[in-house]
Amino acid sequence: MTTSTERPGVPPTGGSPGAPSSSPSSAPRTSRASRAPLDPRLLRHVRAARSHVVRTALLGVVQAAAIIVTALALGGIGGALLSDAVAPQALPGLLAAVVLALLVRAGAVIIEQRTAHRAATAAIAQLRTDVVAHTARLGPRAGAGRGADVTTLATTGIENLRPYLVGYVPKLLLTCTATPLVLVALVLLDLDSALIALVTLPLIPIFMILVGKMTLGRSERLLADMRTLWAQMLDLVEGLPTLKALGRERGPERIIHRLGERHRGSTMGSLRYAFLSSFMLEFLATLSVALIAVHIGLRLVFGEMEIGPALAVLVLAPEVYLPLRQVGQQYHSSTDGLAAVNAAFAVLEEEGMADGTVPAPDLHQVTIALQEVSVRSRSGWAPHRISGQIRPGQITVLAGPSGSGKTTLQQVLLGLLPPDHGSVALRAADGTELPIAEVERRSFWDQVIWLPQRPVLRPGTLRELLLEVRPAASEEELAAAAARTGLDQVIAERGWEAQLGRGGQGLSLGERQRAALTRALLSEAPLVVLDEPTAHLDGGTEDLVIELLHTLRAQGRTIVLAAHRESLVDLADAVIEVRTAAAAEEVSR
């Protein structure tokens, strides 16, 4: 039984080129809503962040206990020295307590810093992996035009989490653990000093809130500027050969310079706010400690307080404000880190296509049936109401002019993109149909080899690249396949162990096409999908491709070929005309 996958907005029969696009924006958007200083999504999603928070909170309690012991021991030593003229060496127990407390505190700080860096590295690695993997799962439409943007986010953007997790989060947790415990100690030692601390402490977070309102959205704009700069730079570098060929290589640097200046201005603005806020925080904390010190001094002069507790309070007073001061100093790290978290989860929370649960049947005996398939694009419906059958063991050509939606239709056939209207089904020999939306993608893709217009090749040697599709292939089989596609010329020049970079870097576009065709010949996948396989090849190599297609058909493969060249269309056992809604409307007139 055939079921159709439909979405709101069925294309009209005549087609409307102005149909609204439903594709998501090309860049993840960051929200400016008020955010918690410790994003709960990060704790739920990233295991390293959760363990880092728990470990840092426990170390904060240890540091608070060490601070209190140090203050009490120093107060006891100082009181005995000034009141009773007892030398410190006469109080070995208190001296030992001071030394031990200082060592414990130093050890806790060292452990916190070391584990913070490790946790940050693990958290960034997990988040980076998840962002890249989820972007791939979202499919080509969700990631259209966002490649450079995701690249920037997954590299320098997510790296903003490091100062956030290493600098800001430990100080925030220390504020939540050490400050309350030290305040309790102050209350027990001297209520007046504790009241002064309680009155002056809120001044620091109030000032931080004011700074936050002044810098609202600045971190998001800084991250957006950086991602725009990266995207423009990557586009420029990739397009340099074309620009040089057209004599336009001296123009785009002005755009990059303007973007760089904007990024520099945003960065300098953030630094100005950082210096100003740090100065004010230090001033407020110093003034607050001075108030406590003056109050204690006056009480000591009038004999209203003993010297031992007074010294202990003077040691504890700066420790009350220290964590908050450090939080203020790291505030801009928090905004940058939270902006990176928001940008990452804008991608991770984007809903992707649900995977099917039914294993794919053997594609050697399966007909792919298209029924009124339409996909919306920014400029209308392309393709528009396409119906047809792709029979096993035949060459089926998707014919149509550039921009008609041939590549998009191939993505629908592969289950990479759901149609906005219509359906695609796998029809078995007995006539039963299985909607492609219900098929488990991995079991389907394991039987498919796809050659897009710009082949994507993994880094490695030429030999490794070919053995990836047939690990048991012999030297003779590899050489024969390379000779059939013209790749043997590249191997003769560079050798089998020639190293390729990311995306096949080191090979020209035509050579990458030959390598991809060789992989298709070596592969035993029953369904071969090719998108303009002769687009970057010369006439002689085009003849090799035509011969290769004959070979694949003779092997019983099902071939889906997007093409507009007559030499390829003439090979077809069946032709499916692909057109846009606007073209269909012209035909109807």
Question: Which helix (DSSP H) or strand (DSSP E) does residue 369 occupy?
Answer: strand 367-374
pLDDT for residue 576:
92
Superfamily of domain 363-588: P-loop containing nucleotide triphosphate hydrolases (3.40.50.300)
Q: Per-residue pLDDT for 438 more than 60?
A: yes
Q: Worst-scoring range by mean pLDDT, 156-160, 351-355, 473-477, 511-515?
A: 351-355
Of 162 and 566, more confident: 162
pLDDT band at 249 (very low <50, low <70, confident <90, very high): low
State pLDDT tens for residues 80-108: 888 888 888 889 999 999 999 999 999 99
Mean pLDDT of 408-422: 88
CATH class of 40-348: mainly alpha
Q: Per-residue pLDDT for 30 more than 70?
A: no
Strands 433-435 and 421-427: antiparallel
pLDDT band at 15 (very low <50, low <70, confident <90, very high): very low
pLDDT for residue 65:
95
Q: Which of 34-38, 455-459, 481-485 has the highest mean pLDDT?
A: 481-485
pLDDT for residue 178:
92
Token digits of residue 373:
């398939």
How far is Cα 405 from Cα 407, in angstroms, rounded to an integer? 6
Of 274 and 490, more confident: 490
How far is Cα 271 from Cα 332, in angstroms, rounded to an integer? 9
Mean pLDDT of 112-125: 92
Closest CA to 361 of 437, 434, 450: 434
- Where are the chain's structural domains? 40-348, 363-588
Of 99 and 281, more confident: 99
Mean pLDDT of 393-420: 88
Angstrom CA distances, 192 to 48, 71, 75, 196, 201, stand at: 42, 17, 18, 6, 14
Tokens 């584990």, located at residue:
115
Tell me which amino acid residue 128 is: R
Q: Which of 101-115, 212-226, 539-553 has the highest mean pLDDT?
A: 101-115
Mean pLDDT of 71-82: 91
pLDDT for residue 21:
37
Q: Per-residue pLDDT for 76 more than 60?
A: yes
Ordered strands of the 367-374 beta sheet = 386-390, 367-374, 421-427, 433-435
Mean per-residue pLDDT of the chain: 81
* Residue 403 CB coordination number (10 Å): 14
Of 164 and 280, more confident: 164
Tell me which amino acid residue 566 is: E
Strands 367-374 and 421-427: antiparallel
- The interaxial angle of helices 203-214 and 253-301, nearest 10 deg, is 170
pLDDT for residue 270:
67
Percent of all residues in the chain with a pLDDT value above 70, rounded to a whole number: 82
Mean pLDDT of 559-582: 85
pLDDT for residue 559:
92
Of 18 and 212, more confident: 212
Which ranges constitute the DSSP H helices of 393-474? Answer: 406-413, 441-445, 462-467
Q: Report pTM.
A: 0.67
Residues 6+ apart with CB under 8 A from 460: 468, 499, 500
Q: Worst-scoring range by mean pLDDT, 160-174, 337-351, 530-544?
A: 530-544
pLDDT for residue 72:
93
